[in-house]
C-alpha cells in the first residue's frame, strides 16, 4: 500500500511464525528422506558394481551436496525469519508499552 509517497507494510506475526514452523518441518522431513535415500543407495551398491554404479554414485554425491546446500540456506532463512519475528514482536511490545493503560 502506498500513501503520501511512503510505503506502508504490515507483518502478520502469526503467519511469520507459521512460515518458520513450516521451514523447520520441511528441514526435518528432508533429513528423514535423505537418510532413507542414502540407506537405499548404500544397499543398492552392495550388489551393484559397474561403470553405471560408479556414475550413479557420483551423481548421488552431487545431489547430496546440493541438498546439503539447500538445507543450509533453509536454516539461514529460518534463522532470519525467526529473528525478524522476535524484532517485530519486541517493537510492538515496546511501542504498546509506551501508551498509558
User: What is the number of structural domains in the chain?
Assistant: 1
**Domain range for 67:** 12-23+34-91
Query: pLDDT tens digits for the chain (101 residues)?
Result: 445 667 777 889 999 999 999 999 999 999 999 999 999 999 999 999 999 999 999 999 999 999 999 999 999 999 999 999 999 999 999 999 998 87
pTM of the model: 0.74
Q: Where are the alpha helices (DSSP H) in the chain?
A: 13-47, 51-97
CA atoms of 73 and 49, how far apart (whole Å): 34
**Is 98 inside any structural domain?**
no
Residue 67 lies in a domain: yes
Segment (H or E) for 7: strand 6-7
Residue 1 lies in a domain: no
Whether 66 is in a domain gets the answer yes
Amino acid at each position: 500500500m502506498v500513501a503520501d509517497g511512503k510505503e506502508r507494510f504490515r507483518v502478520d506475526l502469526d503467519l511469520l511464525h507459521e512460515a518458520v514452523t513450516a521451514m523447520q518441518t520441511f528441514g526435518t522431513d528432508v533429513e528423514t528422506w535423505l537418510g532413507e535415500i542414502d540407506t537405499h543407495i548404500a544397499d543398492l551398491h552392495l550388489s551393484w558394481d559397474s561403470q553405471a554404479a560408479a556414475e550413479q554414485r557420483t551423481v548421488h554425491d552431487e545431489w547430496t551436496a546440493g541438498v546439503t546446500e539447500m538445507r543450509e540456506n533453509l536454516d539461514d532463512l529460518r534463522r532470519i525469519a525467526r529473528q525478524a519475528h522476535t524484532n517485530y514482536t519486541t517493537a510492538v511490545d515496546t511501542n504498546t508499552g509506551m501508551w498509558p493503560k
